[in-house]
């Protein structure tokens, strides 16, 4: 990757532009969080979407991927991406640990645990 002085000056302007975009992105993330969406999943989706855009900007510009042509680096990133997705899907596999009629997160605390909780709270 050869960079002349003129190239670098252009880069510097781009860095400052990305900084502005990241700062605005942070403000939007916080602002969006103050809107109370009906579905909690929508709020999470929006926050992660903005975070992904910000992360892409950092990787593309600050980490120079925008100018990266090396197949070695892109191959490394491709493997990394695939395995990252696999990692994030591991929790889905655990749904098999629950009885088929029960969906994750919708179950109630078993009675004996609830009783123990209550006892803990009241100090018995």
- Least separation in angstroms between residue 121's CB and another protein is 8
Q: Does 111 bind another protein (CB under 8 A)?
A: no
Q: Which of 39, 72, 101, 123 binds another protein (CB under 8 A)?
A: 72
Q: List the interface residues with another protein, window 20-39 (CB under 8 A).
A: 22-23, 26, 29-30, 33
Binding another protein (rule: CB under 8 A), the pick from 87, 101, 112, 123 is: 87
62 near another protein, judged by CB under 8 A? yes
Instruction: State how far the Cα of 68 lies from the Cα of 54, in Å rounded to an integer.
Output: 19
Cα(21)–Cα(2) distance, rounded to whole angstroms?
Answer: 27
Radius of gyration of the chain, Cα coordinates, nearest whole angstrom: 23
Q: How near is the Cβ of 57 to another protein at its closest, in Å?
A: 9
Separation CA 70–CA 72 (nearest Å): 5
CA distances from 36 to 27, 33, 42, 85, 105 (A): 16, 7, 10, 29, 21
Residue numbers at the binding site for another protein (CB under 8 A): 3, 5, 8, 11-12, 15-16, 18-19, 22-23, 26, 29-30, 33, 40, 43-44, 47-48, 50-51, 54-55, 58-59, 61-64, 70, 72-73, 76-77, 79-80, 83-84, 87-88, 90-91, 94, 104-109, 113-114, 117, 120
């Amino acid at each position: 990757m050869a960079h002349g002085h003129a190239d670098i000056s252009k880069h510097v302007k781009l860095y400052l532009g990305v900084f502005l975009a990241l700062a605005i992105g942070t403000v939007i993330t916080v602002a969006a969080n103050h809107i109370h969406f009906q579905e909690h999943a929508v709020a999470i989706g929006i926050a992660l979407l903005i975070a992904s855009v910000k992360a892409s900007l950092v990787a593309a510009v600050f980490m120079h991927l925008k100018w990266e042509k090396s197949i070695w680096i892109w191959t490394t990133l491709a493997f990394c991406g695939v395995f990252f997705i696999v990692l994030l899907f591991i929790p889905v596999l655990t749904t098999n640990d629950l009885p088929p009629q029960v969906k994750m997160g919708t179950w109630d605390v078993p009675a004996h645990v609830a009783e123990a909780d209550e006892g803990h709270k009241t100090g018995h």
